[in-house]
C-alpha cells in the first residue's frame, strides 16, 4: 500500500493539517518550518481493501474474565488498527472497549479476546491509557 506523510500541528480544536507529502524527507523538512509540527504516516486505501474483503468495523466491550458484548459500528471507518481503552466505571467492573475490523460478530469477539489474553499476560490490561495495536487481517 502507498504511504503518505501528513505534517500536522496543534491539538483538539487547534489541530490542523499543514501539508501532505509522498516523500518522508520532504515532510520532515517542512515540519521544521511549522510551530509544533509533527509528521504522521498514513496508508492510502486501507479502508477500501477492508470493505472489498467484507470486513466491518465493530466495538467489542470485553471484561477481564472474557465476557463480551459486540456491536457493529457505523462511524470512524478511517481507523486501520485495533484500538482499546479502559472504561472507568464507578463500579468494580473491569472491562475495556476494543474498536476493530472483523468479518462478523464472532470474528470480532475472537480478535478482541486474543488481545485481552496478550494484555493480561504482559500486564497492560490494567493501564488507564488508550492503546493502539497494528495488526494484519487474515488474507
Reading the chain (139 residues) residue by residue, the pLDDT tens digits are 689 999 999 888 888 999 999 999 999 999 999 888 999 998 887 777 788 888 888 888 888 888 888 888 765 545 556 666 666 555 556 788 888 888 999 999 999 999 889 888 988 887 776 666 655 555 4
Give the Cα separation of 34 and 74 in Å (integer): 35
Sorted by where each begins, the domain ranges of the chain are 3-44, 50-133
Query: Which triple of cell numbers denotes residue 34?
Result: 511549522
Query: Which triple of cell numbers denotes residue 53?
Result: 474483503
Please check whether residue 57 is in contact with residue 73, taking contact to mean a CB–CB distance below 8 angstroms: yes
Count other C-beta atoms under 10 Å from residue 133's C-beta.
14
Give the Cα separation of 28 and 26 in Å (integer): 5
* pLDDT tens profile 17-48: 999 999 999 999 999 998 889 999 988 877 77
Amino acid at each position: 500500500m502507498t504511504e503518505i506523510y501528513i505534517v500536522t500541528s496543534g491539538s483538539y480544536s487547534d489541530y490542523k493539517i499543514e501539508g501532505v507529502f509522498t516523500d518522508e524527507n520532504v515532510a520532515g523538512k517542512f515540519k521544521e518550518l511549522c510551530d509544533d509540527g509533527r509528521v504522521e504516516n498514513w496508508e492510502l486505501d486501507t479502508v477500501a481493501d477492508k470493505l472489498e474483503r467484507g470486513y466491518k468495523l465493530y466495538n467489542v466491550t470485553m471484561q477481564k474474565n472474557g465476557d463480551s458484548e459486540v456491536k457493529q459500528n457505523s462511524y470512524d471507518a478511517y481507523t486501520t488498527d485495533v484500538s482499546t481503552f479502559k472504561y472507568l466505571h464507578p463500579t468494580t467492573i473491569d472491562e475495556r472497549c476494543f474498536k476493530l475490523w472483523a468479518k462478523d460478530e464472532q470474528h470480532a469477539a475472537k480478535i478482541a479476546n486474543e488481545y485481552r489474553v496478550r494484555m493480561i499476560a504482559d500486564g497492560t490490561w490494567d493501564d488507564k491509557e488508550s492503546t493502539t495495536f497494528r495488526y494484519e487481517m487474515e488474507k
